[in-house]
């Protein structure tokens, strides 16, 4: 059996500046990777480890998911999250849910249900049924950003920078457990300042997909990810015989020709890790079975990389 393996991300973009800089982001991501790895070593399943990692990332205000989610055009926070069990090939999730602390918990509960994807009203009713405490994920920083945007009718130059980074904000976790099972979870606060009712990629197979051979989580411009059906495309290519790295390389070459703006992380059932990006920065960190590493200092633009335990 392969060693437990983890790769996770805190979004993508053009800069680490709005997240506090390189070292704080690295510390946050590496700490969360360590906690997920420890849980796996203690016997956590892939699904349990993914939910743990997503909860930790949702609770970190520097990332756009859970606490610290960006505000939509009407000043409200609406979050989306999904979870996929690769062994069962089962996807569950919530879309545009409000006033919960960890949307991934709702996605986790829905794994056992016949109706596994719920939108805003249904997700709110589920949270009520589960008696989850009402939670306000708004932070002072996110409120300030929205107020600055609003002063200039969302046209100010400072606000444009905020909006540019916000719309790439997502978190994701991909895990291979000690039994060789894969799982993936993805969560987001949306792109910020969007039209009410807009649906991101994060709760769809385009942004979050797994089977028994590979699992992928995406981040970046949601509409670009949807147009490419990116996560599902990479997983299908692995299923059809490509290596994980080759599937990433082919998919990202195609995306570059269409000027897409996003990143993705993935694992296969042998423990190979891969990542790719067309944007400048991919906030990803991983445990390859031996060491913790990250992608925070990759050169700008198209980059695809991997770690293969068999090489």
- pLDDT at position 162 is 47
Reduce the DSSP state of residue 103 to 3 states and report it. Answer: helix
Q: How far apart are the first and last CA of the chain?
A: 16
Residue-wise pLDDT tens digits, 172-230? 999 999 999 999 999 999 998 899 999 999 999 999 999 999 999 999 999 999 999 99
Cα dihedral value 57, 71, 91, 232, nearest 10: -90
Q: Which residue has the tokens 């942004």?
A: 207
Instruction: Say which of 5, 45, 67, 170 is annotated catalytic.
Output: 170
Q: Residue 20: its pLDDT value, please?
A: 79
Which residues contact residue 17 at a Cβ distance below 8 angstroms, ignoring those fewer than 6 apart? none
Q: How does the average pLDDT of the chain come out, rounded?
A: 93
Phi-psi region of 121 (alpha: psi -120 to 50; beta: other; left: phi over 0): alpha
Nearest in space to 115 (alpha carbons), one of 86, 135, 95, 87: 95
HSE, side-chain direction, 13 A CA sphere, residue 179:
14
pLDDT for res 161: 45
The Cα-based distances of 212 to 38, 68, 175, 219, 247 in angstroms read 23, 33, 12, 22, 16
Look at residue 160 in the predicted model and tell me its pLDDT: 47
Query: Using one digit for the tens of pLDDT, what is the confidence trace for 286-297?
Result: 999 999 999 999
* Res 157: pLDDT: 46
pTM of structure: 0.94
Catalytic site residue 170?
A: yes
Section 33-46 average pLDDT: 98
pLDDT band, residue 13 (cuts 50/70/90): confident
| pLDDT over 70 (residue 121) | yes
Nearest Cα residue to 82 out of 57, 107, 101, 64: 107
Write down the pLDDT at residue 154.
54
Quick: pLDDT tens for 76-92: 999 999 999 999 999 99
Amino acid 284: pLDDT: 98
For residue 2, what pLDDT is reported? 76
Phi, psi of 264 (to 5 degrees): -155, 155
Mind listing the pLDDT tens digit for each residue in 270-309? 999 999 999 999 999 999 999 999 999 999 999 999 998 8
Sign of the dihedral defined by the CA atoms of residues 251, 19, 190, 30, in that order: positive
């Amino acid at each position: 059996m392969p060693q437990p393996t983890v790769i996770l991300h805190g979004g993508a973009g053009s800069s680490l500046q709005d997240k506090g800089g390189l070292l704080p982001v690295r510390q946050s991501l590496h700490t969360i990777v360590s906690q997920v790895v420890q849980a796996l070593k203690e016997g956590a399943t892939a699904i349990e480890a993914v939910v743990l990692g997503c909860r930790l990332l949702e609770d970190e205000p520097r990332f756009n998911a859970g606490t610290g989610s960006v505000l939509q055009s009407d000043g409200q926070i609406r979050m989306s999250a999904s979870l996929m069990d690769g062994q069962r090939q089962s996807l569950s999730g919530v879309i545009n849910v409000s006033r919960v602390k960890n949307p991934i918990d709702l996605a986790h509960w829905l794994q056992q249900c016949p109706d596994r994807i719920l939108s805003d009203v249904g997700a709110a009713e589920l949270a009520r049924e589960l008696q989850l405490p009402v939670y306000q994920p708004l932070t002072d920083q996110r409120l300030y950003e929205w107020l600055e945007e609003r002063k200039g009718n969302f046209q100010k130059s400072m606000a444009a920078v905020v909006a540019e980074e916000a719309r790439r904000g997502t978190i994701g976790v991909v895990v291979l457990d000690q039994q060789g099972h894969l799982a993936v979870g993805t969560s987001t606060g949306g792109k910020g300042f969007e039209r009410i009712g807009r649906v991101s990629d994060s709760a769809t197979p385009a942004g979050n997909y797994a089977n028994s051979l590979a699992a992928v989580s995406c981040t970046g411009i949601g509409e670009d990810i949807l147009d490419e059906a990116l996560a599902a495309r990479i997983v299908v290519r692995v299923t059809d015989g490509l290596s994980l790295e080759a599937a990433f390389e082919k998919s990202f070459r195609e995306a570059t020709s269409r000027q897409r703006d996003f990143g993705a992380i993935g694992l296969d059932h042998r423990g190979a890790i891969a990542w790719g990006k067309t944007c400048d920065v991919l906030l990803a960190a991983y445990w390859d079975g031996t060491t913790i590493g990250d992608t925070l200092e990759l050169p700008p633009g198209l980059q695809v990389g991997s770690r293969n335990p068999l090489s």
